[in-house]
Amino acid sequence: MVRARRARHGAAKIPAMPWAWIVLLGAVLFAEIGGLYAIILVQFDVGFEAVAGPRMAKPADRAAPAPAPLPRNP
């Protein structure tokens, strides 16, 4: 009488993905999406204010007064 061979222990199991790989892949995808977002902003010259709304005006953002005209040479 021939006995059927049993599969080795654990041979049919699918290896579970460790949490470290899941977290690493999530971080990589997050960085890729953030990088693509930054590239789109730069390439299409879209200001961040167009996406996030206007920021508070700082003194440096205001237009400087026009410089005094240079004296004419006689």
Number of domains in the chain: 1
Q: DSSP characters for the chain?
A: -PPPPPPPTTTTPPPPPPHHHHHHHHHHHHHHHHHHHHHHHHHTT--HHHHH-PPPPPGGGSPPPPPPPPPPP-
23 in any annotated domain = yes
- Taking only the tens place, the pLDDT of each residue in 17-69 is 788 888 899 999 999 998 888 887 777 766 666 666 666 555 566 667 778 88
The dihedral sign for the CA sequence 40, 41, 45, 46: positive
29 in any annotated domain = yes
pTM of the model: 0.38
68 in any annotated domain = no
Range of the domain at 40: 18-44
57 in any annotated domain = no
